[in-house]
Amino acid sequence: MDTGRTVTDNCLVIDSPQQLLNCHIVTPFKAQTQVKAFGTYPLPADFAVSATFQNLSGTPYEANYSAINDEIAPSLGHNLAACGTRTTCSATTTVPLIAPVTAFLPRRTQLDLRLTKILKLGGKGRLQANVDVYNAMNSSSLVAVNSTYGPAWQHPASDNAVGGVDPILPGRLIQFGGRITF
C-alpha cells in the first residue's frame, strides 16, 4: 500500500494576477493511494497459480471552458491581449470551471492471473508453460476523459489526447506462453 499528499504552492506572482487563480493546489491522500498485491501458490503435479491485484486511484479531470473574446471583454473592460488593436477578434482563453485535482474518475481495479505447469525435459532441460489472464474481471474503467467543457466533456479521451494511451482499461486478454531452459 502506498499513499501520500502533495502540495504545490506557486503563489509568488509578480507579473500576472491570473496565475494566482489555483496557485495553491493540494492533491489529497485519496488521489495518491495505491493498493497492490502479488502472490504465487504452488499446486500438486508441478503446477503453480499466481495473481497480481491492483487498486489505483482515479485520474483527476478538469472542466476547462474555452471562452471567446466577446464573452470576456465586457467583464475585463477591454479585449484579450492576443487581440492587439484589431476591432474584430476571435481569440480565446481557457477558463477552469473546476479547481485542479479536486474531481477524480472512479478508482480502478485490475486482477491478473497466471497458471504455470513445469515439465522436465530430461537432464537439465525444463519447459515452463503459462496461461495468463490479464484483467480477469474484465473491468472497463476509464483511464482518461476529455477535460474540455462542452458536449464531449467526461467522454473517453481520444488516443491522441493522452499520448497514445488507451482511455479505457483494455479488456480481458488470454495469453499462452512458455520458456525453455537447458
Cα 102 to Cα 93, 96, 123, 167, distances in angstroms: 22, 12, 61, 20
Q: Where are the alpha helices (DSSP H) in 29-169?
A: 69-76
Query: One-letter amino acid identity for 116?
Result: T
Cα 101 from Cα 58, distance rounded (Å): 11
| Closest to 133 measured CA to CA, from 53, 79, 66 | 53
In the block, cell 497466471 appears at 114
Model-wide pTM > 0.85? no
Give the cell for residue 93.
482563453
Q: Where are the alpha helices (DSSP H) in the chain?
A: 69-76
pLDDT tens digits for 107-160? 999 999 999 999 998 888 999 999 999 999 998 888 888 888 888 888 887 655
Cα 149 from Cα 95, distance rounded (Å): 10
Q: Quick count: other Cβ atoms within 10 Å of Cβ 146? A: 21
24-27 and 173-181 strand pairing:
unpaired
Give the cell for residue 157.
479521451
pLDDT tens digits for 161-171? 445 567 888 88
Q: Where are the alpha helices (DSSP H) in 99-158?
A: none
| Closest to 38 measured CA to CA, from 46, 30, 50, 26 | 50
pLDDT tens digits for 61-105? 889 988 888 888 888 888 877 887 777 788 888 888 988 888 999
Kindly tell me the burial class for residue 150, based on how many C-beta atoms sit within 10 Å of its own C-beta (0-12, 13-18, 19 or more). exposed
Residue 106 main-chain phi, psi, to 5 deg: -60, 155
